[in-house]
């Protein structure tokens, strides 16, 4: 069993998700957390990861490390999104198994599900149809991680589990317009347009796709839940179970940021998957549920953006 003084290694502890997990575990009294920067430990290197595990022998491993990005980044760097994600997760999973680590939590993404799967997305829809082409490289990598976790449970009976979050956002998000996801990109665009005399904001696509968003602190609470409980299955969706149109999201962010100009939709740009709503009933049945609603989460994220705005100046709005 995991105790408050168990050594818990959080891979990707400086990222948006990893840092939220770290904060939440610290707040709950966990005193023996371990994190390494990419300069200290290259997770793509099998030998480095195995050496690190042999030296430190963590009781639990949380894999919040990944190469991530939006449609543009996935389309531009397919090989890196496929190979680097597989290298990172394979090294962590395999080293955990070799070192007989009792608890492993693998974090993925809702993009693992088929593009046109029935809504809401249930865990059993995995591998039932073709993926969304714009991010299939990342999705395939994450699916291999899920299958590695499932096979270890099946073959070795270990308490390894995969959590698949919906679209995450929050403090410590990526606001670089070349690589960020839709919600942080919108926050930045609306803020900069407001500062520039409320100029029009141009957004990709038609605005009609439906999306679900989960505040990163709620994601962290699901990881703590999985750490403190033995979950009966290998794969769980994590989300709110509620979605909205991208147009409605844009208007909500416009309201929070105080932008009063026009919103222009560039329908020449791709929309991505039409809808990605998660069925989160399995996690609800076990006793976990989100607590932060979308407008409150956007407001918290915007406040953090404003406090850290000098860090985002290097990439100008296009």
**Max intra-chain CA distance, the chain:** 61
Comparing CA positions, the residue from 305, 189, 190, 217 lying closest to residue 17 is: 217
194 known member of a binding site: no
166 known member of a binding site: yes
26 known member of a binding site: no
234 known member of a binding site: no
Q: Quickly list H helices, 28-135.
A: 46-56, 71-76, 78-98
Per annotation, catalytic residue among 138, 160, 236, 302: 138
259 known member of a binding site: no
18 known member of a binding site: yes
165 known member of a binding site: yes
Terminal CA-CA length for the chain: 51
- 236 an active-site residue? no
168 known member of a binding site: yes
Query: Six-digit token pair at 17?
Result: 């998700």
142 known member of a binding site: yes
DSSP letters of 107-171?
A: E--GGGS-TT--SSBPGGGTTSSPPPGGGHHHHHHHHHHHHHHHHHHHHH--EEEEEEE-EEE-T
272 known member of a binding site: no
Crossing angle for the helix pair 246-257 and 294-307, to the nearest 10 degrees: 50
Binding residues for substrate: 189, 204, 211, 271
Binding residues: 12-18, 107-110, 142, 165-168, 181, 189, 204, 211, 271
Binding residues for NADP(+): 12-18, 107-110, 142, 165-168, 181
Catalytic residue positions?
Answer: 138
């Amino acid at each position: 069993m995991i105790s408050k003084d168990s050594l818990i290694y959080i891979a990707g502890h400086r990222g948006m998700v990893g840092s939220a997990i770290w904060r939440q575990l610290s707040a709950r009294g966990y005193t023996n957390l371990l994190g390494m920067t990419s300069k200290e430990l290259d997770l793509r290197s099998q030998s480095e990861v195995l050496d690190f595990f042999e030296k430190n022998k963590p009781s639990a491993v949380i894999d919040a490390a990944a190469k991530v990005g939006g449609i543009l980044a996935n389309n531009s760097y397919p090989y890196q999104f496929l190979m680097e994600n597989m290298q990172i997760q394979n090294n962590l999973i395999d080293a955990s198994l070799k070192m007989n680590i009792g608890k492993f939590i693998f974090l993925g993404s809702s993009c693992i599900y088929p593009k046109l799967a029935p809504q809401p997305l249930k865990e059993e829809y995995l591998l039932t149809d073709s993926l969304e082409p714009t991010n299939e490289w990342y999705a395939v990598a994450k699916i291999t991680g899920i299958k590695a976790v499932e096979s270890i449970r099946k073959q070795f009976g270990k308490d390894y589990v995969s959590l698949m979050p919906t679209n995450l956002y929050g403090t410590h998000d990526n606001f670089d317009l070349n690589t960020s996801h839709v919600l942080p990109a919108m926050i930045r665009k609306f803020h900069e347009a407001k500062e520039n005399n409320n100029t029009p904001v141009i957004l990709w696509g038609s605005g009609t796709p439906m999306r679900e968003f989960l505040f990163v602190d709620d994601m962290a609470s699901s990881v703590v839940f999985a750490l403190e409980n033995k979950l009966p299955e290998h794969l769980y969706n994590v989300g709110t179970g509620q979605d909205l149109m991208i147009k409605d999201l844009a208007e909500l962010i416009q309201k929070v940021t105080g932008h009063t100009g026009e919103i222009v939709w560039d329908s020449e740009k791709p929309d991505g998957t039409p809808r990605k709503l998660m069925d989160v009933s399995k996690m609800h049945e076990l006793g976990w549920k989100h607590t932060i609603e979308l407008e409150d989460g956007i407001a918290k994220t915007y406040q953090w953006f404003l406090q850290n705005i000098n860090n985002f100046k290097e990439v100008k709005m296009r």
